[in-house]
Chain A
Amino acid sequence: MTDYVNYPTGAPVTDAKAPSGPVHERWDKRRFEAKLVNPANRRKHTIIVVGTGLAGGSAGATLAEQGYHVVQFCYQDSPRRAHSIAAQGGINAAKNYRNDGDSIHRLFYDTVKGGDFRARESNVHRLAQISVEIIDQCVAQGVPFAREYGGLLDTRSFGGVQVSRTFYARGQTGQQLLLGAYQALSRQIAAGNVEMHPRTEMLDLIVVDGRARGIVARDLVTGRVDTYFADAVVLASGGYGNVFYLSTNAMNSNATAVWRAHRRGAYFANPCFTQIHPTCIPRTGDHQSKLTLMSESLRNDGRIWVPKAKGDNRPPNQIPEGERDYYLERIYPSFGNLVPRDIASRAAKNVCDEGRGVGPGGQGVYLDFADAIQRMGRKAVEAKYGNLFDMYQRITDEDPYEVPMRIYPAVHYTMGGLWVDYDLQTTIPGLFAIGEANFSDHGANRLGASALMQGLADGYFVLPATINDYLARNPRQEPVTTEHPDVQKVLAETEDRLNLLLSVDGDRTPDSFHREVGELMWEFCGMARTDAGLRKALERIPQIREEFWRRIKVPGTGEEFNQSLEKANRIVDYLELAELMCLDALHRAESCGGHFREESQTPDGEAARRDDAFGYAAAWEFTGTGEAPVLHKEDLVFEYVHPTQRSYA
């Protein structure tokens, strides 16, 4: 470990593509300066897209509409099942339909501030500009957003902001937006413009002459490992929250595509920026396989509280009003229950650490709708949150109309990801990363209802404009075939890895290792991190890795449908990524957004940033498994939103 933490600092990394000038003109300027590909020439270009969530689905459809030949992959049995489908609450857009003072500039401001000043202004402003087009696009596709009686779109407010700019489709906004993108993609599949490979998982990236030229992927049904080639590769493979084992991610969401790209030369930025969502259903026991989110929109009408006294075990309805602590309303009177996610999560952890948590093990706080039901009536609450209440009841066997919900924070989203420039291109030419797979827009904390916005902005509007520039500048690339020595090498490495996993024949299951590393990460790299804890984790991770390759047991063969092999192969990558996350968290000796270092807090326990020392994005370069990576810093410049101590009081 001593070697690993003694990382060298390399040359700074700069975003060479972001134009200068007034922030609101930069996207127009870039679009004008970017070279175009003649429509007749587009069909000669093949683009690989990995993933079919909001970012990948929308990108695949749009690139195909433009005339490119798209070859697309997802590990699920259908592109419609990507985990974007589980997003509940909504999607932000600066439409200002409410006339409540919203504007593109305010969405930009809220997002930079919400991200605790660790995101690029240029990117965030572009996101805010595009937000309004996304709503138009989705409505045109037939996305059934919630509407008012007059037939116009309804909005609601979300954590971290004071305007009502979140568009929603009951508690299933992600599902409806994803189905919109899936349907657009389906139209292109039918038209022959997209060659779709479901149940096919990317296992490595093919880089030839310094450019991304394809991927190695495994057909999960037949087990066949194959190569696919293209002029550019787009990763839309989502985040890496499943490193923690328990998270709100889908069971099979994984980090293999981004981690393999990182190993091939793409820098990985801010891996320690992970989001812990404040409103998830608490775990019930060791059998727990995943955690379920309750939409943040519930904080609009629900009130969060714990008993004032430690160890108060009375049922909630027997605790009188005066003995309850509505701690968010008390500490943050102006934002109350709607403070940003990182703040709400940490506050919940604090009251539970004080011994005032509720439910089994004291790992929970109440989210109470009694006042809302009294104020709006049960029917109105049902109309707004009915499906969420049903889901809660199904999982916990408790009726939230009668008994307050119990919630606790859980890993939900990863702001870190592959480093990309303004064009969303990684440090490997021809390799692009969009959606949660990149690091670009949310800084150290993502605001609610902004993931859907970013995924669709990247996929529908940003990437289709910027990838043209790359293809126009590299119009004729040498054809690559499987026989190419660089390709043979990647293919052989992939097959060796799978064969090794199958041949160890040890005495521990893949899940047992996943759980072990996940618990370690939750303890030392979760809601609160310390120098000593992170060093402990960094000492332990290589040991787990060593034990993994000695004791892993994967039944069956590689030439068949083998879910244990899929899982084990993903854990190989988690065991390396976890190490980088801890190193990043260790090196960033400040608190910001979702990254809370106990050594760096204000007297009243808020995250204390250290802008002078850490006002940069940390982009890590891979040098070998267990070898110290090289740190490249990208300095962040704030011309419009000046860094201040965030205050939601």
Chain B
Amino acid sequence: MKLTLRVWRQKNAGAEGAMSTYEVDGISSDMSFLEMLDVLNERLILAGEDPVAFDHDCREGICGACSLVINGDAHGPERTTTCQLHMRSFQDGDTIDIEPWRASAFPVIKDLVVDRSAFDRIIQAGGYVTAPTGSAPEAHATPVPKADADFAFEHAECIGCGACVAACPNGAAMLFTSAKVNHLNVLPQGAPERETRVLDMVAQMDAEGFGGCTLTGECATACPKGIPLVSITGMNKEWLRAARKVGKR
């Protein structure tokens, strides 16, 4: 196939960015979207131009590094990560817009690469169970009902890519934060820190400059791992419960 790409180019965090247009030819429908960008970059290097910078690593949809807004959709038209999007989702002759995640809490580093360290700081605020190495009881000492284990797993699947933030008109990080809160709060191992976890993580989320949630649901639609929208409802419930219990807002 032959495609026209309009790609966001931005030299560094401080520079102004703009869309640049490139033609690519000889694209096979079996290529992944990132392999298509590889083809473009090989050509740019040989032409003495700066290749397009983009984050990517595992290319199997699990590390969460890749992060492109394709034709206005986070990770593009299929419900998957950009690296698992294949060119068979496009037609010969298409024009494709490629942009970075857009959110004030995710500043652009270069071209399509953004800084998502705010997510790490949300986890650091409470997205863990305090269980220093060596202190663990025998694994079967506490059975966990299968339904709870499955619920925890469903939320633990989050890969921290940030598509939820990129898709949200408010740039909110509610789905990311709620996924971790729900994963740990439903488990008996997470119970001792249940209140502080949700309060501290939400406070950090707000401090990072993410927008407020108006439950538009774009996040859950964009999520490549299918974290459900009710995850946010669950976190709101946890937060209210914790706020009442701890006696502070």
Contact = CB atoms under 8 A, between A and B. Distances in A.
B133 A172 contact: no
Interface string A31-63: 000000000000000000000000000100110
Given A80-B160, A289-B59, A139 B189 contact: yes
B247 interface: no
Given A175-B62, A189-B124, A252-B57, A509 B190 contact: no
Interface in A509-542: 509, 511-512
Interface string B36-48: 0011001011101
B128 to A, nearest CB: 4
A79 interface: yes
Given A78-B160, A184-B131, A151 B145 contact: yes
A186 B127 contact: yes
Given A78-B119, A136-B137, A141 B189 contact: yes
Given A78-B117, A151-B144, A287-B35, A83 B58 contact: yes
Nearest to A292: B60
B30 interface: yes
B30 A81 contact: no
A140 interface: yes
Interface string B143-169: 111100100110011011000000000
Contacts of A73: none
B242 interface: no
A184 B116 CA distance: 19
Contacts of A139: 136, 139, 142, 189
Contacts of A140: 129, 131, 135-137, 189
B146 A151 contact: yes
Is chain B's interface secondary structure helix, strand, loop, or mixed overall?
A: loop
Contacts of A146: 149, 153
B49 interface: yes
Nearest to A88: B62
Given A86-B62, A190-B125, A561-B12, A460 B133 contact: yes
A252 B59 CA distance: 10
Contacts of A136: 136-139
Contact of A83 (B57, B125, B132, B136): B57
B52 to A, nearest CB: 9
B57 A76 contact: yes
Interface string A249-288: 0111100000000000000000000000000000011011
Interface string A78-101: 111101011000000001010000
User: Which of A61, A135, A175, A553 has most B Cβ within 10 Å?
Assistant: A175
B62 A251 contact: no
A560 B63 contact: no
B136 A221 contact: no
B61 interface: yes
Nearest to A137: B136
Interface string B223-241: 0000000000000000000
Most buried by A among B58, B113, B127, B157: B58
A76 B65 contact: yes
Contact of B143 (A151, A175, A289, A507): A151
Which residue of A83, A142, A221 has the most chain B CB atoms within 10 A of its CB atom? A142
Given A81-B65, A284-B30, A507-B46, A187 B124 contact: yes
Contacts of A560: 11-12, 110
A512 B189 CA distance: 50
Contacts of B57: 76, 81, 83, 250-253
Interface string B78-116: 101000101010000000000000000000011001011
B55 A170 contact: no
Contacts of B42: 509, 511-512
Query: Which of B56, B131, B183 counts the most chain A CB atoms within 10 A?
Result: B131
Given A86-B63, A290-B59, A183 B133 contact: no
A83 B44 CA distance: 28
A285 B29 CA distance: 11
A546 interface: no
A502 B140 CA distance: 57
A147 B46 CA distance: 53
Contacts of A144: 149, 152-153, 156, 183, 187
Given A287-B38, A289-B32, A555-B45, A149 B146 contact: yes
A133 B138 CA distance: 8
A20 B156 CA distance: 44
B58 A86 contact: yes
Given A287-B31, A394-B84, A564 B51 contact: yes
A77 B55 contact: yes
Most buried by B among A140, A151, A175, A555: A140
B63 A76 contact: yes
B86 to A, nearest CB: 7
B70 interface: no
Interface in A193-212: 196, 198
Contacts of A58: 133
A553 B46 contact: yes
A62 B137 CA distance: 17
Given A81-B63, A289-B32, A141 B86 contact: no
B243 interface: no
A179 B156 contact: yes
Contacts of A172: 62, 157
A176 B42 CA distance: 35
Given A176-B153, A288-B35, 12 more contacts: A76-B57, A77-B115, A144-B183, A153-B140, A190-B125, A285-B30, A287-B31, A289-B35, A395-B32, A395-B84, A553-B46, A555-B50
Top 4 nearest A-B pairs (CB, nearest first) are: A151-B143, A183-B128, A140-B136, A190-B124
25 contacts: A78-B117, A80-B120, A86-B62, A95-B139, A97-B140, A142-B189, A186-B120, A187-B130, A196-B120, A251-B58, A284-B28, A287-B30, A287-B31, A289-B34, A289-B38, A391-B84, A394-B78, A394-B84, A394-B86, A397-B86, A507-B46, A553-B45, A555-B45, A560-B11, A564-B45
